[in-house]
């Protein structure tokens, strides 16, 4: 396992120059190293076909999630033989460690980390590699924040937006509407009546814009609603599967627990969800690279109205939106797993 010191972009080449001979260029790579930024030490795992010169970066949810959960058997068997997949645990997230959490918690610092990750990958594997970013949930806020800064988007061949939270005011408005409408249907059908009545009563009592506390409680109800929705077929992906993935990756449990309890990540949550919520919609028109928009049709956490907003606002010549009818917030698992990853594979192969 190699450790790379990233104090600044200017120092990056010096920091890793003595390690380059150990980099795996093969059809079955399993590289593990660290991205260091502002004293935060972030694990990066690169698996699969690095010889393809094509890399898909998974930008995980949260804030405070991790990337290990995305590397399931289907991805290993169907994506990694075709191209390399990059699993990056962001600062204050997953198995990330170090003392860089301190004052470095703003979205801008996550964007800076993303920029440094791009430099690191290109130095390790070559400036001619093709990079794609797939942002899920909170990663769907971080990724467009990265894309809309300067010329960052041109470091990538394409962007995949998966149930992303790029506009919190729109998210809240759409979630209230979708939950209220679904609650009325379910109550009428006499399904989980008490649960849906509680959810509907909360939504009916809200007035926009929402406070941070209201937004977080709405998010909890949205997650609960997915478990009450019969159309969502993701029961085959269970807790034991996630535990198995952690064991396979030899992921240390203590850092995972510490990151999930780390109070400094709350500053990012406040920045995004506080005072009515942050939004990136006003800058999406600057995005011109090919874009694939993938959402669960029954996502209450990040409703499909967000997919419509991205499709409407970006200036990309190529943009494709797909809603998965058996999915909620995570269409990469469950009944739509194959259909979801087929879309990702086709997109990457087309624009690599």
DSSP string, 131-156: EEEEEETTHHHHHHHHHTSTTGGGG-
Describe the crossing of helices 168-188 and 212-228 by its angle, rounded to 10 degrees: 40
Which CB contacts under 8 angstroms, 24+ apart, belong to 76-79?
A: 76/47, 78/341, 78/345, 79/48, 79/341, 79/344, 79/345
State mean pLDDT over 281-305.
Answer: 98
- Compute the distance between CA of residue 157 and CA of residue 54 in angstroms, rounded to an integer: 10
pLDDT > 70 in the chain, percent: 82
pLDDT > 90 in the chain, percent: 71
Q: Enumerate the β-bridge partners of residue 4.
A: 35
Reported as a single tens digit per residue, the pLDDT across 144-170 is: 999 999 999 999 999 999 999 999 999
* Model confidence band, residue 22 (pLDDT cutoffs 50, 70, 90): low
Chain position carrying tokens 């990233």: 6
Reported as a single tens digit per residue, the pLDDT across 165-215 is: 999 999 999 999 999 999 999 999 999 999 999 999 999 999 999 999 999
What pLDDT, on a 0 to 100 scale, did the predictor assign at position 67? Answer: 85
Which domains does the chain possess? Answer: 2-169+236-258+279-351 (3.40.50.1820)
Q: Enumerate the β-bridge partners of residue 292.
A: 160, 320
What pLDDT, on a 0 to 100 scale, did the predictor assign at position 13? Answer: 36
50 vs 251, residue with greater confidence? 50
CA atoms within 13 A on the CB side of 79: 31
| pLDDT over threshold 60, residue 263 | no
Nearest to 72 by CA among 62, 58, 51: 58
56 vs 254, residue with greater confidence? 56
Beta-carbon count within 10 A of 147 CB: 29
Chain position carrying tokens 């990265």: 146
Q: Do the beta carbons of residue 66 and residue 256 sit within 8 Å?
A: yes
- Compute the distance between CA of residue 97 and CA of residue 36 in angstroms, rounded to an integer: 10
Angle (CA) 163-321-153 rounded to 5° is 75
Instruction: Based on DSSP, count helices (H) and strands (E) in the chain, helices before strands.
Output: 12, 10
Q: Is the pTM of this model over 0.85?
A: yes
């Amino acid at each position: 396992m190699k450790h790379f010191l990233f104090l600044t972009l200017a120092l990056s080449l010096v920091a890793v120059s003595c390690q380059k001979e150990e980099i795996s260029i093969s059809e079955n790579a399993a590289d593990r190293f660290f991205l260091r930024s502002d004293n935060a030490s972030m694990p990066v795992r690169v698996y699969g076909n690095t010889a393809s010169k094509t890399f898909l970066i998974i930008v995980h949810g949260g804030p405070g999630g991790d990337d290990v959960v995305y590397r399931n058997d289907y991805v290993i068997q169907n994506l990694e033989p075709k191209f390399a997949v990059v699993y990056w645990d962001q600062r204050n997230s997953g198995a990330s460690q170090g003392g860089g959490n301190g004052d470095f918690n703003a979205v801008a610092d996550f964007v800076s980390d993303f920029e440094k990750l791009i430099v690191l990958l290109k130095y390790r594997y070559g400036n001619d590699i093709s990079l794609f970013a797939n942002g899920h949930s909170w990663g769907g806020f971080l990724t467009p924040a990265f894309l809309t800064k300067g010329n960052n988007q041109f470091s990538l061949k394409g962007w995949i937006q998966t149930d992303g939270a790029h506009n919190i005011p729109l998210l809240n408005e759409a979630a209230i509407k979708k939950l209220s409408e679904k609650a009325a249907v379910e109550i009428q059908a006499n399904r989980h009546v008490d649960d849906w009545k509680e959810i509907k009563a909360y939504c009916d009592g809200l007035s926009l814009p929402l406070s941070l506390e209201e937004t977080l409680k709405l998010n909890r109800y949205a997650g609960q609603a997915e478990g009450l929705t019969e159309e969502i077929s993701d029961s085959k992906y269970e807790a034991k599967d996630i535990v198995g993935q952690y064991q396979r990756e030899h992921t240390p449990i203590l850092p995972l627990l510490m990151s999930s309890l780390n109070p400094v990540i709350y500053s990012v949550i406040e920045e995004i969800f506080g005072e009515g919520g942050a939004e990136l919609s006003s800058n999406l028109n600057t995005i011109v690279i090919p874009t694939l928009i993938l959402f669960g049709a029954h996502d209450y956490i990040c409703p499909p109205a967000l997919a419509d907003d991205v499709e409407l606002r970006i200036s990309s010549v190529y943009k494709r939106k797909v809603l998965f009818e058996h999915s909620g917030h995570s269409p990469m698992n469950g009944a739509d797993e194959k259909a979801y990853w087929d879309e990702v594979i086709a997109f990457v192969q087309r624009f690599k």
